[in-house]
Amino acid sequence: MAYQINVQYCVGCQACYRACPFGAVELVDPHYQQVAEGAPVTDSHSCYINPKKCKECGFCVIECPVDVISLVDENGAPKERPHYNRIWIEEAECIGCTKCARNCPVDAISGEKKNPFHIDESKCRRCGVCLNDCPKNAVHAE
């Protein structure tokens, strides 16, 4: 799964490119001979989300001025963007592998290695990256 841009309205304004914490957005710009592997062919500049790098935080969606970024599954079929009111780590289930903290785009997760980690709710933007990452399913959401 990954987010995908409908290039019909994409003007390549780079809002998603600047918003992406994972470097998953690549720029396509024929005028400057800038290409991105796998990107649709366009005759002027646009943006492309590399599905291999996208972690589905959805920050790009918030920034897009034309609202053309949507979530798709492995087969390219549309998928509803998840919405979370709260995300937390169950201490008893967390093994302290650090993966969630390393990938959190807003540095909201902290803890000691091999000890339970916790999420600072004042920083958390409820993107769900930690939820997808956790190898022990210790991250929960509602």
Partner 1 sequence: MLYGYMGKLLFVDLSTGTWEVRPLSEELARNFIGGYGIGAKILYDEMPAHTDVFAPESMLGFMSGPMSASRAFFGGRYMVVSKSPVTGMWNDANSGGYFGAQLRHSGFDGVFVKGISEKPVYLYLNNGEVEIRDASHLWGKRTMEVEAILRDEVGKDMNAAIIGPAGENLSHMACVMNDEHRAAGRGGTGAVMGSKKLKAVVVRGDQEVPIYNKEKLVALNRQVADDMLHGSNKEVRDWGNWGTPGQMKAMLLIDDAGVKNWSSTYEGAYPLEKGDAIYEPAYEQGYKAKRYICHCCPLGCGATYEINDPKGKLPKKGASRPEYESQAGLSSNVLNSDRDTVVYINYLTNEYGFDAIAFINTLSWALECYEKGVLTREQLNGIDLRWGDPQALQAVAEAMCNYEGEIGRILTHGTQYAADLLGKGHEYLFTIGGIESALHDPRNSPWYLIEGAIEPTPGRHMKSPLGGSLRGKDKETRYNQRGLGFTAAKLKSENMFSECCCYCHMYDSPIAGLKWDYLEAITGFTYTPMERHMVGMRIFHMRNAFNVREGWKRGDFKFSDKIIGKPPLETGANAGVTHNVDQGIDTFYEAMWLDMDGKPYKETLEWLGGMDEVIADLYGE
32 binds partner 1 (CB under 8 A): yes
In 3D space, the residue among 19, 25, 18, 23 whose CA is nearest the CA of residue 3 turns out to be 25
Q: Is 48 helix (H, G, I), strand (E, B) or coil?
A: strand
**Residue selected from 67, 73, 90, 120 as contacting partner 1 according to rule CB under 8 A:** 67
Q: Quote the tokens at residue 28.
A: 């396509």
What x/- string results for residues 118 through 137 when contact with partner 1 is judged by CB under 8 A? -------x------------
**Residue selected from 2, 12, 39, 60 as contacting partner 1 according to rule CB under 8 A:** 12
Segment near partner 1 (CB under 8 A); pick from 30-38, 79-87, 96-104, 128-136: 30-38
**Number of Cβ within a 10 Å radius of residue 111:** 17
Least Å from the CB of residue 65 to partner 1: 4
Least Å from the CB of residue 57 to partner 1: 13
Q: Say if residue 102 is exposed, middle or buried (CB neighbours under 10 Å; 0-12, 13-18, 19+).
A: exposed
What phi and psi, each to the nearest 5 degrees, are found at residue 19? -80, -25
DSSP at 80: P
**Residue selected from 38, 65, 76, 78 as contacting partner 1 according to rule CB under 8 A:** 65
Residues interacting with partner 1, by CB under 8 A?
8-15, 27, 29, 31-32, 34, 44-45, 63-67, 125
